[in-house]
A and B are shown apart, each in its own frame.
Chain A
Amino acid sequence: MQIELWINEKKVRAAIEPDTLLIDFLREQGCSSVKRGCETSNCGLCTVFMDEKPVLSCSVLAARADGHHIVTLEGLKEEAEGFGAYIADQGAEQCGFCNPGFMMNAIAMFRENPDPTDDEIREYLSGNLCRCSGYEGQMRGIKAYLAFCRQKGGQA
């Protein structure tokens, strides 16, 4: 079947199988940042934006993306570099495999709630598993980034 959608603001028309998952379709389209850590919607690694809302691309059929706007980390270069530098400054990226999904959901959180409490951060990102960092370094990075944004006077 044919679908037409926007991937990182670029219009894409493609032939897919009815059972193609969005994660596999996106990786085929060159969005290699989208990672798979499980098959059970538990790890959060495959998080992408569908019409600006974070979704697990392993649990969405590519067919359902027809007519929608999909954004992956490849499409958020500036935000990824801006926020990512704060994670890097903690050494919290470690193996890096969970980072794209974590970055996507963190960026979604900053947009939705530019001034979250620690508990709100933990709650919002609880679906993003990381086996390396113990999460504390990510928390320090997020808080340093938020402090920077506040100092800048603007929003996250």
Chain B
Amino acid sequence: MEKKLSLINQPIRKKDAMALVCGKPVYLDDIAPKDCLIVKLLHSPHAHALIEEIDTGAAEKVPGIEAIYTYKDVPQKRFTMAGQTYPEPSPYDRLILDRRMRFVGDVVAIVAGENEKAVDRALKLIKVRYQVLEPVLDFRRAKDADVLVHPEESWRALCEVGADNRRNLCASGVDEDGNLQTVMEDCEIVLEHTFHTKANQQAMMETFRTYASIDTYGRLHVVSSTQIVFHVRRILAHALDIPKSKIRVSKPRIGGGFGAKQTCVTEVFPAFVTWKTKKPAKLIFTRQESQTAGSPRHEMEMRVKVGAMRDGTIRAVDFYTLSNTGAYGEHGPTTVGLSGHKSIPLYNANLEAFRFQYDVVYTNVQAAGAYRGYGATQGIFALESMVNELADRLGIDPAVIREKNMIREGQVAASYYNEQMNACALDRCVARAKEMFGWDEKPLRQDMGNGKVRAKGMAMAMQGSGISGMDVGSATIKLNDDGFYVLSIGAADMGTGCDTTLAQIAAECMECDLDNVIVYGADSDSSPYDSGSYASSTIYVTGKAVEKACRELREHMSVIAAGILDCPPQELIFAADGVATADGGKKVSLGELAERSMNGNTETVQVTVTHSSPVSPPPFMAGMAEVEVDMETGAVELLDYVAVVDCGTPINSNLVRVQTEGGLAQGIGMALYEDIHYDAKGRIAEDSLMQYKIPTRLDTGRLRVEFEGSYEKTGPFGAKSIGEVVINTPAPAIAHAVYNATGVWHRELPITPEKVLMGILRREKEE
């Protein structure tokens, strides 16, 4: 395999591309049986309430209604909907239906019927009497508040995450290294500020959806738009209190996930209906439900203190994150960790001490979940903004202060689990971004003379590649007639293209055409175990499993070939079209070999390999933004965005580019447009795409993306991850540019025209 790579880092078309561009029926609602019961949910109008009485009598009489379920009908064992490796760090705080309502949108009842009209009518006829309780709406006052979100005895945390339901704590903890106080006191400049990010929505175009049916063997077959088929199986077994062997979970094409579908948002409801009625059932969330009862980003407030010398040497970072997990704790204990662990290491070079403390609190708002970046996005906004301000205070170029302090190849980061950076091209990313952007030539601020001001800003970012020592990826590769291969995976292609990129790895290893590799997945019955597609793990972890499986299959194939050619297997050479003796004298074609494998053969021609990595090598990037601010209206226009990414070896040069551009667009949305407001009763105002403004193609400016290669020796062909790191730079880079334009730091996202204008007016008043 030492020969020149032919399929790696190539702009290869996705295997499913033509089906998708031609609108083929490949998504959940296209393939769900036509006779599915329609399942809908009655949602709570109150942020905190107890159901005193619930009367479904009139609703049940609606013709076509099959079943209505309330809290009285469901198993009483608590579980979590978070798609994580067991035992999950997220507390077991859910029931399918509960008597206590914990946010506006919490589920009161499940209605299943023959058609949508009947179900809609029945939903209106359910009479509920609530005992309305005082909600915990301010996450800054949630810890140790008098009102408890989860007072129930049956609440439990499986892992030591510093959770305590009697204190509204979903998690808490501290990580530190060095003598923070001493170093901080010795610093010549110490800056401290508080930053706030909102509960942004993934807003994938396909909302949450699931259907369920009973198979030939009486088992529950759940088909879901999910990133995590195996975790869904376990979660459903817990929720329904039935054996895991009774459940099969598979996925069709997925219309986007971005982490949203790493939580079992819809699965339990139609699964429960089907298990009870033995009839197929489907639940398609509306956009409003996705916006109000989904699994958005954790709202965070971060207090960052940075200690430095006048020459810009950054010596100490003190970081405190308060994270709002909302009504339930999905991904609460884990997302918060990334806010510190994936921001502080960026400034590893001269760091003598750090402290990272956190609290994750329960409140009576929509439960948060996993969204691309997973806490790192929030933390990097805070720390990068802080470093930009430090550079400004010290009169040092923001690129220069980074060059002085950034993490570099070979360094060990105490703030990143003492991992060594095998592959780190962050320095080259910054250097290339400067060239592309013309950083040194452009002024920080330029008055355009027409009421508008142009300015530049920058940021760096990192993420991980899988969860070290935990994420498991597996691949099964099988030789078939004619010498084509079937690659089975449990990772989930959600539009990211992993069916194709993993096939590229297989084809490269087997030295065959990409069309010779068929990809199948993900199905909990037939796929090899995989934690699922999240935490930027698929290429790095599952991709390595593919590589190892192929290597093993080649050995088995050589044994068969040796039998045919009558020579020792170690003397054979594996080539694209078959296996030959070293001198090239004798050769068996792949087709012949495959044929022999099905005739009197005892050698294995299907190999499964499971892989896990003790490290999580970070991808890195640099981002630079040019904005134009209208000083009269506060409107911010993004003119140009330059991003240079180090994802190790890109496997597919098209897909890493589009991943980057897509991540940037989401980051731009988070920076400028995507807002969340709650009214006095805890209802979300932005419950549609009319109010929740994700960027259109008029809003994203020009995105210019390049890659700086590095070689991560623990990844397949040197690859690290790409999916998440790309969302992390826009918010701090744009906030920096807006400061340079207006003289005002915006420490809360999004940076809307109102905030920009009010900031300008406030500053003018002060002057």
Q: Mark B15-41, 1 if CB is under 8 A from A, else 0.
A: 011111111111100100000000000
> Does the CB pair B661–A137 fall under 8 Å?
yes
> Is B688 a contact of A38 with CB atoms below 8 Å?
yes
Within 8 A of B (CB), among A62-86: 72-74, 77, 80-81, 83-85
B23 is contacted by which of A37, A95, A103, A136 (Cβ under 8 Å)?
Answer: A103
Known: A94-B495, A133-B661. A99 touches B21 (CB 8 A): yes
A22 at the interface (CB under 8 A from B): no
User: Min CB distance, B293 to chain A, in Å?
Assistant: 15
Chain A 18-36 interface mask (CB, 8 Å, partner B; 1/0):
0000000000000011010
**Stretch of B394-402, B692-700, B734-742 on the interface side:** B692-700
CA distance A92 to B661 in the complex (A): 10
Does A50 make an interface contact (CB < 8 A)?
Answer: no
Of B22, B206, B288, B497, which is within 8 A of A39 by CB? B288
B56 at the interface (CB under 8 A from A): no
The residue on B at minimum CB distance from A121 is B697
A54 at the interface (CB under 8 A from B): no
Q: Of B265-273, B358-366, B663-671, which binds chain A?
A: B663-671
Cα distance A61–B624 when bound, in Å? 47
Give bound CA distance, A80 to B202, whole Å.
28
Alpha-carbon separation in the docked complex, A98 to B696 (Å): 13
Report the bound CA distance from A130 to B699 in whole Å.
12
Residues A92 and B665 in contact, CB atoms below 8 Å apart: no
Tell me if A38 and B689 are in contact (CB < 8 A).
yes
With known contacts A89-B11, A94-B662, A42–B689 Cβ distance under 8 A: yes
Cβ 8 A contact of A91, one of B117, B257, B654, B689: B654
Expressed in whole angstroms, the Cα–Cα distance for A77 and B88 within the complex equals 47
Check if B287 is an interface residue, CB within 8 A of chain A.
yes
Q: Taking the nearest CB of chain A, how far is it from the CB of B317, in angstroms?
A: 31
Name the distance in Å between B19's Cβ and chain A's nearest Cβ: 8
Q: Contacts A125-B697, A131-B204, A134-B703 given: A91-B13 contact, CB under 8 Å?
A: yes
In this assembly, does A156 line the interface, its C-beta being within 8 Å of a C-beta of chain B? no
Does residue B496 face the partner (Cβ distance < 8 Å to A)?
yes
- The yes or no answer to A147 lying at the interface (CB within 8 A) is no
Asked if B21 and A91 make an inter-chain contact with CB atoms under 8 angstroms apart, the answer reads no
Task: Determine if B21 and A131 form an interchain contact, defined as CB atoms under 8 angstroms apart.
Answer: no
Say yes or no: is B576 at the interface (Cβ < 8 Å to chain A): no
Specify the main secondary structure of chain B where it touches its partner.
loop
Q: Is B652 part of the contact surface with A, judged by Cβ < 8 Å?
A: yes
Would you call A123 and B698 a contact (CB within 8 A)?
yes
Docked-complex contact A131 and B287, CB < 8 angstroms? no
Contact A91 to B658, CB < 8 A, known contacts A129-B694, A131-B203: yes
Are the CB atoms of A94 and B496 closer together than 8 Å?
Answer: yes
Inter-chain contacts of A125 with B (CB < 8 A): 697
> DSSP class of A's interface residues: helix, strand, loop or mixed?
loop
**Distance in angstroms between the alpha carbons of A69 and B655 in the assembled complex:** 38
Q: Is the CB of A88 within 8 A of B253?
A: no
In A85-139, the 8 Å CB interface with B consists of: 85, 87-100, 103, 122-123, 125-139
List of B residues within 8 angstroms of A129 by Cβ: 205, 689, 694, 696
Provide the residues of chain A in CB contact with B698, threshold 8 Å.
122-123, 126
Answer whether residue B255 sits at the interface, using C-beta atoms and an 8 A cutoff: yes
Task: Return chain A residues, CB-CB under 8 Å to B286.
Answer: 39
A40 within 8 A of B: yes
Find chain B residues with CB under 8 A from A123 CB: 698
Chain B 665-680 interface residues, beta-carbon cutoff 8 Å to A: 665-666
A134 with B689: in contact, given A32-B25, A94-B495 (CB under 8 Å)?
no
A43 contacts B by Cβ under 8 Å: yes
Contacting A135 at CB < 8 Å: which of B16, B18, B23, B700?
Answer: B700
Does A5 belong to the interface (CB within 8 Å)? Answer: no
In the complex, the answer to whether A131 meets B697 with C-beta atoms within 8 Å is no
Q: A123-B698, A129-B205, A131-B205 are in contact. Are A77 and B22 (CB under 8 A)?
A: yes
Is B489 interfacial (CB-CB < 8 Å)? no
Q: 1/0 contact trace for B622-638 toward A, CB 8 Å?
A: 00000000000000000
Q: Which among B202, B658, B705 is the interface contact of A92 at CB below 8 angstroms?
A: B658
| B494 in contact (CB, < 8 A) | yes
List A contacts of B204 (CB < 8 A).
95, 97, 131-132
* A39–B258 alpha-carbon span in the complex (Å): 21
The interface of chain B, by Cβ under 8 A from chain A, is 11, 13-14, 16-27, 30, 117, 202-207, 253-258, 286-288, 494-497, 652, 654-655, 657-658, 660-666, 688-690, 694, 696-698, 700, 703, 705
Assess whether B21 is in contact with A88, with CB atoms less than 8 Å apart.
yes
In the complex, the answer to whether A136 meets B287 with C-beta atoms within 8 Å is no
Instruction: Establish whether residues A93 and B20, one from each chain, have CB atoms under 8 Å apart when the complex forms.
Output: yes
The residue on B at minimum CB distance from A124 is B697
Q: B19: which A residues are within 8 A, CB to CB?
A: 96
> Contacts A43-B205, A134-B661, A135-B700; is A95 near B256 (CB within 8 Å)?
yes
Contact across chains for B495 and A96 when beta carbons are under 8 A apart = yes
User: Which residues of the partner chain B approach A135 to less than 8 Å between Cβ atoms?
Assistant: 661, 665, 697, 700
Residue on A nearest B202 in the bound complex, by CB? A131
Distance between Cα atoms of A153 and B26 in the complex (Å): 36
Q: Say yes or no: B696 contacts A93, CB within 8 Å.
A: no
The yes or no answer to A45 lying at the interface (CB within 8 A) is yes
In the complex, the answer to whether B662 meets A132 with C-beta atoms within 8 Å is yes
Check A40/B27 contact, CB under 8 A, given A88-B13, A93-B21: no
Residues of B within 8 Å of A93, CB to CB, are 14, 17, 20-21
Q: Which residue of A43, A91, A97, A131 is within 8 Å of B652 (Cβ)? A: A91
Given contacts A37-B206, A103-B23, A131-B203, contact A88 B661 (CB under 8 A): no
Can you list, as one digit per residue, whether each of A42-56 has a CB less than 8 Å from chain B (1) or not (0)?
A: 110100000000000
Q: Is the CB of A134 within 8 A of B16?
A: no
Cβ 8 A contact of B287, one of A38, A87, A98, A127: A38
Q: How far is the CA of A126 from the CA of B698 in the complex (A)?
A: 6
User: Is B205's CB under 8 angstroms from A134's CB?
Assistant: no
A selection of 23 A-B contacts at a CB cut-off of 8 Å is A33-B24, A37-B205, A37-B206, A37-B207, A38-B688, A40-B287, A73-B23, A74-B23, A80-B23, A93-B14, A93-B20, A94-B497, A94-B662, A95-B204, A96-B21, A99-B21, A125-B697, A126-B696, A126-B698, A130-B697, A131-B205, A132-B204, A133-B658
Partner of B662, one of A77, A83, A131: A131
The smallest C-beta distance from A118 to any residue of chain B, in angstroms, reads 10
